[in-house]
Amino acid sequence: MTSPTLNDNAFMKPMEWASLAVLAALILVVLPLALDIFRLNLVGKYLTYAFVALGLVICWGYCGILSLGQGVFFGLGGYCIAMYLKLEASSVENTKIQSTPGIPDFMDWNQVTALPWFWKPFHSLPLTLLAVVAVPTLFALVISAAMFKRRVGGTYFAIITQAIAAILTILIVGQQGYTGGINGITDLRTLHGWDIRTDHAKSVLYFVNGGLLIACILAAQYVKRSKLGRILVAMRDKEDRVRFSGYSVASFKIFAFCLAAAFAAIGGAMFTLQVGFMSPSFVGIVPSIEMVIYTAVGGRLSLFGAVYGTLLVNWAKTSFSESFPELWLFGLGALFIGVVLAFPNGLAGIWRQFVAPRLSAKPHPAKPGAPVLPAALPHGAPAE
């Protein structure tokens, strides 16, 4: 048995550093130079989904917890920042034609005459930024503690998270006077007085989005390479053995699920800023399952693969819908089925199986004058 090398305990291997550099160059240099502002903003929207895929790599790939309700946390983060933006756009001057000036327009349309108590903290930008991460994470904590403490997992956990996504969607749509209903929260204009609708603002938000994504990749990499990451993998493979070793399996699962929720919430907030609205269509079952597809196509064991998978699937979705509006769903489904059947580990598996071995192979030429030794013969094979 060989002893572990220094590289085994390193934060990132040289190949991983190279992968991070390539991804950062692609996001922050190549795409901004190659695309116009409309397409760049579209890619920025794709990257917001990559936050969810990163969380699923930790939660599903390394911990074995398949969540079909990540759209819940994506939507909660998006709604938190949307509430601040909507309040800023609903000043008395901007809403003086309403019967009740100073409240969002959809509240006025639904005969709500005063701002609800749970909206009032979102007048403050610092509290809003805190709520973007805290509210979805606390919600994930309640859900995960209620289930993991009772050893609910596997298929049952996936179904319950799916049910929660459906329930929250129905709740948002039903409470139209407080949430904007099926239309969501729209007509978002400024962030602390800064107009987010201009091309310059969209460009700045794209780079902020890319920087946050890289920061989340580094945070996820830290968890992955730490002792905590090794425990998560051990739980995925042999949960009972980890439990018998004295570890609190439920606590580790709760942490992984809450971390994935926090990543998804950041992505939801950036989605709202870049796209300019948030609606229940991003909270329900369908978007949550799509987010799992992004991770599966990219590779559920690879942080970088999850990002590339998100970009590939969304690019294919946009391309198919533009070129074949009646067939794009079939094309998207064929892409997913083909990749998963042919390469169960996704794009990352293709890289590890076919590309990485060729890059890491280093031929050692023989020194001049050195004898050329014959290749080792199989055991028992006669020499010629």
Task: Give the C-alpha separation, 93 to 113, whole Å.
Answer: 17
Say what the pLDDT of residue 343 is: 77
| 109 phi, psi to nearest 5 deg | -65, -30
Say what the pLDDT of residue 278 is: 95
* 191 sits in which H/E element: strand 190-191
Q: How confident is the model at residue 1 (pLDDT cuts 50, 70, 90)?
A: very low
Say what the pLDDT of residue 363 is: 54
Pair 312, 298: CB distance under 8 Å:
yes
pLDDT tens-digit map of 171-210: 999 999 999 999 999 999 999 889 999 999 999 999 999 9
Owner of token pair 């790599």: 57
Owner of token pair 């606590």: 251
* 194 sits in which H/E element: strand 194-195
Say what the pLDDT of residue 10 is: 75
Identify the residue with better confidence: 316 or 3: 316
Long-range contacts of 160-163 (CB under 8 A, 24+ apart): 161/67, 161/68, 161/69, 161/70, 161/72, 161/288, 162/68, 162/69, 162/285, 162/288, 163/69
Identify the residue with better confidence: 290 or 212: 212
Q: How confident is the model at residue 250 (pLDDT cuts 50, 70, 90)?
A: very high
Task: Give percent of the chain above pLDDT 70.
Answer: 90
- Shortest CA distance to 144 belongs to which of 69, 203, 94? 69
Rg (CA), the chain: 24
Pair 74, 268: CB distance under 8 Å:
yes
Task: Give the C-alpha separation, 127 to 121, whole Å.
Answer: 7
Q: How confident is the model at residue 384 (pLDDT cuts 50, 70, 90)?
A: very low
- Shortest CA distance to 289 belongs to which of 159, 148, 133? 159
HSE-up of 318 (CA within 13 Å, CB side)?
A: 10
Say what the pLDDT of residue 89 is: 92
CA of 22: how far to CAs of 15, 118, 184, 200, in Å?
10, 43, 37, 25
* DSSP single-letter state for residue 36: -
pLDDT tens-digit map of 280-336: 999 989 899 889 989 988 888 999 999 999 999 999 888 888 777 777 778 777 777
Q: What is the mean pLDDT of residues 27-45?
A: 95
Task: Give the C-alpha separation, 7 to 25, whole Å.
Answer: 24
Where do runs of H (alpha helix) occur along the chain? 14-25, 31-34, 37-56, 70-89, 105-109, 125-148, 154-174, 176-179, 199-225, 227-237, 239-244, 249-275, 285-298, 303-323, 328-342, 346-350, 356-360
pLDDT of 168 above 70:
yes
Owner of token pair 């050195």: 370
The amino acid occupying position 306 is: A
Q: What is the mean pLDDT of residues 10-37?
A: 92
Pair 225, 16: CB distance under 8 Å:
no
pLDDT of 49 above 80:
yes
Task: Give the C-alpha separation, 358 to 33, whole Å.
Answer: 30
The amino acid occupying position 143 is: I
Task: Give the C-alpha separation, 151 to 146, whole Å.
Answer: 9
Identify the residue with better confidence: 249 or 334: 249
pLDDT tens-digit map of 72-114: 999 999 999 999 999 999 988 888 898 889 899 999 999 888 9
pLDDT of 3 above 50:
no
CA-based diameter of the chain, in Å?
Answer: 100
pLDDT tens-digit map of 118-165: 999 999 999 999 999 999 999 999 999 999 999 888 889 999 999 999
Bridge partners of residue 194, in order along the sequence: 191
SS3 letters for 123-169? HCHHHHHHHHHHHHHHHHHHHHHHHHCCCCCHHHHHHHHHHHHHHHH
**What mean pLDDT value characterizes the chain?**
87
Say what the pLDDT of residue 325 is: 76
Task: Give percent of the chain above pLDDT 90.
Answer: 65
Say what the pLDDT of residue 369 is: 52
- Shortest CA distance to 47 belongs to which of 363, 247, 250, 313? 313
